[in-house]
Homo-oligomer: A and B are copies of this chain.
Amino acid sequence: MMERVRLRDLGITIGALPTGEHNAITDVPGVLVGHATVIADEPRVARTGVTVIVPREGIWSDNVFGGYCSFNGNGEMTGVHWLEESGMIDSAIGISNTHAIGVVRDTIVAHAVAHGQIGGFLLPIAAETYDGWLSDIDAFHITPAHVFAALAAARGGPVAEGNIGGGTGMICYGFKGGIGTSSRVVSTKSGVFTVGALVQANYGARADLRVDGVPVGLEIGLDKVPAREEVPAPPPPGDAGSIIVVLATDAPLLPVPCKRLARRAIVGLARAGGVGYNGSGDIFLAFATGNHLPPGAGAPLDVKMLPHGQIDDLFVAAADAVEEAIINALCAAETMTGFRGRTVHALPLDELRRVMARYRPDTERF
């Protein structure tokens, strides 16, 4: 099998907009990403972790606008009541496994307390997808130390993808899933802005997978690469799975436009084959760093607002970046064996390239 590369390394692009430097959420200036990965076989099998996104350094004293969208709420994202009410985010965002969302959330508070930054109150955003197939999730592996480690590791630049951080044990379209990222650069009358996406992809039935419209999941069906292998018995079929999306932009979006941007994650998800099955927690967050919002201001804040009429390219960018981030997660993730000897296979990239070539005529588009 060929080595893991990103989707664009295979000559496949999503949409017409250019990417940022790293084709990552960190292309939005100031955004930091950190991972802590927990892999162990003893005493109980762990294939899990934590990923954090810091909207910008100094987030405690320089908040950002944000908004969210729940496409199918069979999942958890904490902190949304205040996000909806205030339109602001004032701390790091954490993503982990389902049973760890509480410890991740509380530890983001503890981290702020430890840094003397908290004035009594913080309502962090923590989200999850379920990794109980490959990881013994009922062992409650994640501890505050892992969350502190992910926060300490947060930085800009290239972002590791696949089996890392919160994405470690995830499964997507019956292939190994995990963390993926992508970005787009858009030019508007109000300036040039970047939109970045980071996903923790853990959803979908094999037959649904599409890459740039091509029915890859039908072509690399379960007869070619089984969705999940275990010893001795096959898993019951199920619609379980989820996807968390975090979108970032440096455009001056007010809170409601952030929510609108988050909603466009549905477009990227749908184009990649997602339907939002009943068992899926498809919850999407967007934040915008284009304004500076010190808490406790005594006078009206001066904020910039991108006119609504200029937002379309950001919508396209969000949809494209989410679609590519999902496929990047599949491209980066490697075959993993975990809990109870179960194996989940990586998306075979040579097969992917072969299928794409069959479905794309020889034009300048491909």
| Residues of chain A at the chain B interface (Cβ within 8 Å) | 16, 70-88, 98-107, 109-110, 113, 118, 120-121, 123, 126, 130, 132, 137-138, 140, 189-191, 207, 210, 212-215, 218, 239-240, 252, 254-256, 260, 263-264, 266-267, 269-271, 274-279, 281, 283, 296-309, 311-312, 315-316, 319, 358-361, 365
Contact = CB atoms under 8 A, between A and B. Distances in A.
B103 A300 contact: no
B75 A81 contact: yes
Given A70-B81, A189-B298, A308 B75 contact: no
Given A101-B106, A102-B102, A276 B315 contact: yes
B81 A283 contact: yes
Given A80-B80, A82-B74, A307 B297 contact: yes
Contacts of A260: 72, 85
Contacts of A254: 87, 254-255, 303
A51 B1 CA distance: 55
17 contacts: A73-B83, A74-B81, A75-B81, A76-B79, A76-B81, A77-B81, A78-B78, A81-B283, A121-B132, A264-B276, A266-B266, A270-B271, A277-B312, A279-B309, A302-B303, A302-B304, A359-B359
A270 B278 contact: no
A303 B256 CA distance: 15
A358 to B, nearest CB: 5
Contacts of A103: 102-103, 106
Nearest to A139: B113
A358 B360 CA distance: 8
Contact of A256 (B76, B100, B255, B296): B255
Nearest to A78: B78
Contacts of A365: 215, 218
Contact of A74 (B86, B118, B210): B86
Contacts of A279: 121, 309
Contacts of A189: 298-299
A100 to B, nearest CB: 7
A139 to B, nearest CB: 9
Contact of A73 (B81, B207, B296, B359): B81
Contacts of A361: 358-359
Nearest to A79: B76
Nearest to A294: B307
A248 B290 CA distance: 29
A267 B256 contact: no
Contacts of A88: 308
Contacts of A266: 71, 266-267, 270
A102 B99 contact: no
Contact of A276 (B74, B77, B263, B308): B263
Contacts of A130: 120-121
Contacts of A86: 73-74, 256, 308
Contact of A75 (B77, B82, B311): B82
Contacts of A302: 302-305
B78 A73 contact: no
Contacts of A309: 239, 278-279, 296-297
A85 B300 contact: no
A307 B298 CA distance: 7
A305 B300 contact: yes
A106 B99 CA distance: 6
A267 B273 CA distance: 9
